[in-house]
Amino acid sequence: MNDTALSKTEQPWKTPHWHVSPWNYLEEVTKDFTPPRQVKIHDITLRDGEQQAKIIFTKDDKIRIAEKLAEIGVHRIETGMPAVSPNDEAAIREIVKRNLPSEIFCFSRCMVPDVKLAADCGVDGIVIEIPSSKHLIEQGYKWPLEKAIDLSIKATSSAKAEGLYTVFFTIDATRSDMKWLLDLVDRVATEGHMDAFTLVDTFGVLSPQAATFFTKKVKERIQKPIEIHFHPDFGLGVANTINAVLAGGEVIHTTITGIGERAGNTPMEETVLALLTMYGIDVGIDYSKLNETAQLVQELSGVKVPGNRPFIGDDAYTIESGIVTGWFKNVFEENPTTVFPVHPDFVGHATPQIVMGKKSGLDNIAIWAHKLNIELTEDEAMAVLREVKLQSHDLKRVLTEQEFQKIVEEVT
């Protein structure tokens, strides 16, 4: 864990590691927040993350990722569904044998045999799913409503008998009738068993305001710990998850890099860093290893994040603009967070790079010339810059050092 992340300051919006807006901490902004004392991460990379089309994790892949998640301090690792395939079952059993410091969970349909298999794998807890909107039960599953409820009661009762920490997971909850949903949860909690309840936005259709409403309504009715599982189909997974935390949600379900079904799952990286820097909520992981963890998942999943992806994209700390290069040149050594809201070292990113292209300026020329031991007069630097812009435009990319040196030779 980064001890520096835990340090208290009179200005929590500005530390040696980040600089965000002071408005985030104004009483007018925070007065209605009711976050829990601790927020835990329930990582679902190995289960929901692998549901992204074309991703396949082998047994060894799953073990490597699980070990890395435990290394960075993730509280819970959802290792998969043992009923899906023998390979998944074998991976779960092997991860359990590793005695990692993280709690090991798996996912289950609302079926007693699934639960018994999970218990036999030796996991600490189980997430049991049930369709919870009438249209999905009737149209997607072709079940009568009472069957879904009956299966859930039997499955959760079985989980209790097996000694598993049981998380009840209601698929498509956010397109259900609220009263019907809460009545369903009450029945399962009363007639079956439930240690925690998950707010599930399966299709990412919740607004940030509705995420707050959903969390508060559930907490009024359900006296159990609340977990948060939101998808970002409209790009709102991070915002919705944070709003649910601020309304009292205690466990967040995330994936490394945001991989997952359709548009993915709520990404761990942006979520935990926003909680830390903008809300003062430290989930307690080692933030300096976020990039190496993301690199591992990209390598094993075969899914590369965009270069400008916050904190973990290859170009998240790359500068081409002449204006911003000037800022960088003037302040980075003494005040790096003036240019980057989160210091690259804090998240384990590579050193910021200044590239040479169509949008570059004289400061880019000066930095590259110094790096390559080239001396240029003001007129020569301006001539080099003009040629850099032309060539970069025509090539539709930034230039290499060799191309830059050739321009310098031709100009001088």
Beta bridge partners, 127, equal: 107, 167
Residue 66 has what pLDDT?
A: 98
Residue 397 has what pLDDT?
A: 97
- DSSP single-letter state for residue 176: S
Distance CA 94, CA 82 (A): 12
Residue 7 has what pLDDT?
A: 47
Distance CA 88, CA 373 (A): 55
Burial of 117 (0-12, 13-18, 19+ CB in 10 A): middle
Instruction: State the pLDDT confidence band at 314, using cuts at 50, 70 and 90.
Output: very high
336: amino acid identity, one letter: P
Helix (H, G, I), strand (E, B) or coil at 80: coil
Residue 323 has pLDDT above 90, yes or no: yes
Residue 189 has what pLDDT?
A: 87
Residue 145 has what pLDDT?
A: 67
Instruction: State the pLDDT confidence band at 3, using cuts at 50, 70 and 90.
Output: very low
Residue 146 has pLDDT above 80, yes or no: no
Residue 139 has what pLDDT?
A: 64
Which of 138, 137, 249 has its CA nearest to residue 200? 249
Helix (H, G, I), strand (E, B) or coil at 318: strand
Least confident range from 96-100, 178-182, 381-385, 391-395: namely 178-182
Residue 134 has pLDDT above 70, yes or no: no
pLDDT tens readout for residues 186-195:
888 889 999 9
198: amino acid identity, one letter: T
pLDDT tens readout for residues 65-75:
999 999 999 99
- Say which residue, 148 or 385, is predicted with more confidence: 385
201: amino acid identity, one letter: D
Residue 281 has pLDDT above 50, yes or no: yes
Q: How far apart are the first and last CA of the chain?
A: 52
Q: Delineate the domains of the chain, giving CATH numbers in brackets.
A: 3-301 (3.20.20.70), 318-411 (no CATH)
Tokens 């240019």 correspond to what residue? 339
pLDDT tens readout for residues 170-181:
888 999 889 888
Residue 412 has what pLDDT?
A: 85
Residue 138 has pLDDT above 90, yes or no: no
